[in-house]
Structures are given as C-alpha cells and as structure tokens.
C-alpha cells in the first residue's frame, strides 16, 4: 500500500500570525506577565510562568512593538498545559477573545 503525500495546512477558519512580544494579563485580580506566541482576530496562544485554569476569564493587555497604543481585550482560557524550558516550568495556554475590536483587526497585518 502506498502512502500518499500530505501537505501541512492550517485547519483553522482564521489563521494565526506567529509573534514573540510581551504582554500582561489579569486573572483573579492578580497581574501576570506573558509572551504572545501567536495571534489571530479570534484568540491567541500565550506562554507564562502562571497557568490560569481552563474556563477562567482574563483581561489581556497587548502592546506590540510596532504599535503606539496598548490594546486591552477580555478573553477566556480555552486550553492550557505545562511544559519545560531552559528557565524551568512554563505554562502555555490558548485564549478566545470575547469581542474583536477594530484596532486588533488593523494590528494583525502589521505584525
């Protein structure tokens, strides 16, 4: 039986843009720092030393390098897990934005 060639493709409805910039988020009244791994108009993948519980609401503050303004978004954690890095344990988690502001739509092509 022959194996057919497979082409990797993004199966999301809206693709994410690879990024690597710092951000801040608030979960349960406490502030935490994170790095935005990738970003789309629907959500983002974040990396942080703090892993919020799945289903928890967070307030995410983004200030991409090419932007003059800070963008604040309400989001919900939809998945997450722990991994390891050179700096120890690190949490990675995906969030879905509650509302998509116009500023985010115009920001993504500039990243």
User: What are the pLDDT digits (tens) for 16-37?
Assistant: 889 999 999 999 999 999 999 9
- Quote the number of domains for the chain: 1
87 contact partners, CB below 8 Å, separation of at least 6: none
Angle 38-33-62 from CA coordinates, rounded to 5°: 50
Judge whether 1 lies within some domain. Answer: no
Give the CATH number, domain containing residue 42. 2.40.10.220
pLDDT digits (tens, 9 = 90+) for 47-97: 999 999 999 999 999 988 877 889 999 999 999 999 887 878 899 999 999
Model confidence, pTM: 0.83
- Does residue 67 form part of some domain? yes
List the end-to-end C-alpha distance of the chain, in Å, as a whole number. Answer: 44
For residues 66 and 43, the answer to whether their CB atoms sit within 8 Å is no
Q: Which domain holds residue 47?
A: 17-110
């Amino acid at each position: 039986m022959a194996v057919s060639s497979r082409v990797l493709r993004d199966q999301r409805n809206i693709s994410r843009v690879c990024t690597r910039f710092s951000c801040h988020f608030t979960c349960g009244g406490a502030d935490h720092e994170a790095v935005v791994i990738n970003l789309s108009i629907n959500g983002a993948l974040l990396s942080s030393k703090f892993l919020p519980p799945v289903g928890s609401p967070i307030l995410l503050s983004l200030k991409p390098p090419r932007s003059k303004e800070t963008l604040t978004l309400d989001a919900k954690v939809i998945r997450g897990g722990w991994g390891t890095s050179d700096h120890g344990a690190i949490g990675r988690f995906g969030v879905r934005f509650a509302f998509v502001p116009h500023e985010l739509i115009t920001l993504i092509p500039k990243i």
